[in-house]
Chains A and B, each alone.
Chain A
Amino acid sequence: MRNELEPRSLDSGSFEKEPLWRDEFSISKADERYVGRRQLAKFLTLGSLGMFAGNLWIVVKSWFRTPARYTSSVVAHAGEIPVGGVKLFQYPAPGDQCIMVRTAEESYVAYSQKCTHLSCAVYYSREHDRLECPCHQGYFSIRDGSVLQGPPTRPLPRVVLDRRGADLVAIRMEPEI
């Protein structure tokens, strides 16, 4: 009677029928390391394919990107907010929250209120004269929306304002969103 526990190679072919446990453990002990490494290499190559697909997706999105169309919208009236004051408005679409700051007597700046890191709402810190994201301490310059500190890597999209008489009109976003 043969011994079921006796180790042997897979390709021995010395038995008419493989025992049941071979179905579950179809790789000999000596070959285990090879299979693990080969499968890891396959997994990594598939990951590489995924990265390549991601880059191709960006190319396709770039090709089919249509220039955004913005409509002019009166967002505030001159003198409506005091120097150092803030007004929130929605532009270019309802739900796109923006923040306007009057930095000087005749100077207004406006940015998207969504932090470019994880979309938390930024607020104006009059003490530090900058826009601050409370979630991860991302700070943006009030002058141009550039990143001063923190995890965001991109500046805040700026709302281009046009003074039309007593009205402050938002005409577009830079960069386009």
Chain B
Amino acid sequence: MARYPDVRKGHGLTAIDAVTAIVVLLLVIQMWLLTATLDAFLAGHTETAIPAAIVSGILFAACFVMYRFVARLDRQARSGR
């Protein structure tokens, strides 16, 4: 009976922590991007809106891929129990 996490689980947790840190970093960049774009928009500059949205979309896609990675890792760790 597996009452304690094994070595594989420990590695899984390290990987999940690393991915979570990257996702946090991407989210901070997105927050800055949104703030800067909103500021520019309110100042009457709309030319930055589309490039900012594209970059934000790429960052979201990266976050989603990271989340899928976390979910997959989690599934693997559970099934390997």
Contacts and interface: CB of A to CB of B under 8 A. Distances in A.
A124 to B, nearest CB: 22
25 contacts: A11-B81, A12-B1, A31-B78, A34-B12, A38-B16, A41-B19, A44-B20, A44-B23, A44-B27, A44-B63, A45-B67, A48-B60, A51-B33, A52-B53, A52-B57, A52-B59, A54-B34, A54-B38, A55-B34, A56-B53, A58-B34, A58-B38, A59-B53, A61-B49, A116-B42
Contacts of B26: 48
B17 A9 contact: no
Contacts of B71: 38, 41
Interface in A6-34: 7-9, 11-12, 29-31, 33-34
A77 interface: no
Nearest to B81: A9
A143 interface: no
Interface residues of B, number: 47
B5 A30 contact: yes
A42 B67 contact: yes
Among B46, B52, B56, chain A packs the most CB atoms within 10 A around the CB of B56
Contacts of A9: 1-3, 81
Interface string A71-112: 000000000000000000000000000000000000000000
B2 A30 contact: yes
A12 B31 CA distance: 44
Given A37-B13, A44-B27, A48-B26, A55 B49 contact: yes
A145 B69 CA distance: 50
Given A48-B26, A48-B63, A51-B30, A62 B42 contact: no
B41 A62 contact: yes
B49 A58 contact: yes
B20 A55 contact: no
B3 to A, nearest CB: 6
Given A45-B23, A48-B27, A62 B46 contact: yes
